[in-house]
Amino acid sequence: MKQLTYICFMQTTREEAARLSETVTRVLDAARRGQARAFDPVRVGVLTVAADRGPLRAGAIAEELDVLPSSVTRHVQALQDAGLVATRTDPADKRASLIEATEAGREQAARFREAGAEVFHGVIADWPAQDVVRLTELLERLIASWAAKGAQEQKANRSGKRFDWSEG
C-alpha cells in the first residue's frame, strides 16, 4: 500500500518566528564566543569589505558593517599602519578618501576566510552532506528574505518603540 505524505503550507506563527530568532541568535553567539580575544570583528570586517568591494569611502564601509563611521576610521588607521589597506583621495570629491585593501590585505582577508571555513568544517564534518546543502539553502533564503523585508519590518517595529537604554 502506497503511503501518501501531505505537506501543509501554513503561515508561520509568531512563536515559531520567535524560536527561530532565538536559535539564530544562539548560533551567532556560539560563533562569536572567543573571537574577541582572537581578533577584532570590526577590524576584520573593515579589511574584508575593503578587499571584496573596495575602493570605498569609510561611510560605505560603516553602512555595510552597520557600525559607526568613527569606528571605521579608527580601524582603517590601524590597518593602514599594518600595510593592509591604503587610502587615496576620492576623485569625485577631493574632501573624501577612498579605502582599498593592499595586496597584503587581500591575502590576509583570504587567509582569514580560509581559517573560518576550516573551523566551520570541523564543526559540521560529521553532518550528512544533504543536511549541509539544505541548511545552506534555507539560510540563503533567510538572508534574501531579510534583505527584502527585514529593514522594512525593523523600521515599522521601531517607530515609537525605542530602547533608550541600548543607545550608546
Q: Domain ranges for the chain, please list them.
A: 36-118
Show the low-confidence residues of the chain (pLDDT under 70): 1-9, 34-37, 154-168
Each as own residue / partner, the long-range contacts of residues 19-24 (CB below 8 Å, 24 or more positions apart, any chain) are 24/142
pLDDT at 112: 92
pLDDT at 160: 59
> Quick one: what percent of the chain has pLDDT higher than 70?
83
Question: Is residue 156 classed exposed, middle or buried when 0-12, 13-18 and 19+ CB atoms within 10 A define those classes?
Answer: exposed
Domain at 36-118: CATH code: 1.10.10.10
pLDDT at 97: 94
pLDDT at 37: 67
C-alpha cell belonging to residue 28 = 551567532
pLDDT at 141: 94
pLDDT at 165: 55
The count of other CB atoms within 10 Å of the CB of residue 89 is: 11
pLDDT at 119: 86
The pLDDT tens digits for 87-100 are 999 999 999 999 99
